[in-house]
Every structure is written in C-alpha cells, then in structure tokens.
Amino acid sequence: MAKQFPSIGDDHRAFILRQHIFFVASAAAGTRVNVSPRSTDSLRLLGANKVAYLDRTGSGNETAAHIRAGGRVTIMFCAFEGAPSIMRLYGRGAVHHRRGREFARLLGERFGGNEPLGTRQIVTLAVELVQTSCGFGVPFFDHQGERTAMDKWANARGPAGIDAYWREKNVRSIDGLPTGLFEDEEAAV
C-alpha cells in the first residue's frame, strides 16, 4: 500500500543510503519520457526536501532538457536485497553546469571536490512528495560492484574528446529541446 510524506524522513534516508542504484524519470510537454539509471555513489541528500546527483556524460542529456523546459522529475529507488520496498521522490529539478558557481559550491561541499572526468553537471531535485510502496514485484539482485567502463571511456577520450562528444550528442534532447550544456558560451555570443 502506497504511503505519502511531505519530506524525506529518517527511515527514508536510511533506506536510500542502503541502495546501490536509483532511476531518474523526466519529461516535458510533448516529449518522450526518459528513464536513466544512476549509481547512488553519485547521490547526495542535501536536506529533508532536496537531493543532488553528479551527472556524468551519457548518450543524451534528456533530463537537463526536460528540466529546462519546465518538466518534472521523479527519482525512484528499489530494494533489490532485504525487505521489499520502493520509494519515489517527486519534484522539480535544477541543472547546475560545470562552469557555474552553484556547481563549484556543491562539488566542493557535497562531493569533496571530486569531479570525475566526464562530469557535465549536477542535478538537484526540490522534493515535493515522497511516496513509498510495497515493492513486492521487485526481484532480488546481488550487487557486484561499480562498473569501470565510464572512467575508461572518459580517460580514452580525454577532456577535448569529451567536449566534442557533448557538442555532438548532449546539446539537444532526442525531441530537439536545448539542454543548456553550453549556455554560458551561447550567452557570450
């Protein structure tokens, strides 16, 4: 049975900290719904109604485009071990690009200044609603560890190669919406 809460409570926080993966869902009017998996290594709980995650290079940049277009964001956690449970955080997102002040502040304060190669932005979610549900349909899975493919890919490309990839693949969503990834450059023109 689903239960709703106005904020992330202590039990919710403990549940989130036990998970290894979360999913980010987003959409804007007239766009496809996007769902992306993320490692909880990149997630930080900023308060009872705010979370952030370090967003690294992907084949697209849908979440940023949806947020920029006023779309909503949902973050979902599933218990793949232990008692069954699902938790969703519903809210409004914000994107903090890597050359911005808020990115630098969050990176320093919440991520220990660690910026893995290929980091393009930090996404924050202002949580408006927390919902838990049974999770009876979620199967058991064993966590074996983090993949190293992203780091190998980023190191092989180097900063210039990653920048070129972003310009080719991450400037617009699959529906043609701008992601704002290079908006500081666009504003300077």
Whether the pLDDT of residue 187 is over 70: the answer is no
Q: What is the H or E stretch that residue 11 is in?
A: helix 10-18
* Contact present, 53 and 42 (Cβ < 8 Å): yes
* Contact present, 178 and 65 (Cβ < 8 Å): yes
* Contact present, 178 and 62 (Cβ < 8 Å): no
- 107-135, pLDDT tens digit by residue? 999 999 999 999 999 999 999 999 999 99
Domain that holds residue 38: 3-188
* Sign (positive or negative) of CA dihedral 145, 147, 152, 157: negative
pLDDT category at 188 given cuts 50, 70, 90 is low
pLDDT of residue 91: 98
- 22-36, pLDDT tens digit by residue? 999 999 999 999 999
pLDDT category at 2 given cuts 50, 70, 90 is very high
Report how many domains make up the chain. Answer: 1
Phi/psi zone of residue 144: left (φ > 0), alpha (ψ -120 to 50 degrees), beta?
Answer: alpha
- 145-154, pLDDT tens digit by residue? 999 999 999 9
Report, as an integer, the average pLDDT of 171-183: 94
- 33-91, pLDDT tens digit by residue? 999 999 999 999 999 999 999 999 999 999 999 999 998 999 999 999 999 999 999 99
Q: What is the H or E stretch that residue 42 is in?
A: none
Write the CATH number for 103. Answer: 2.30.110.10
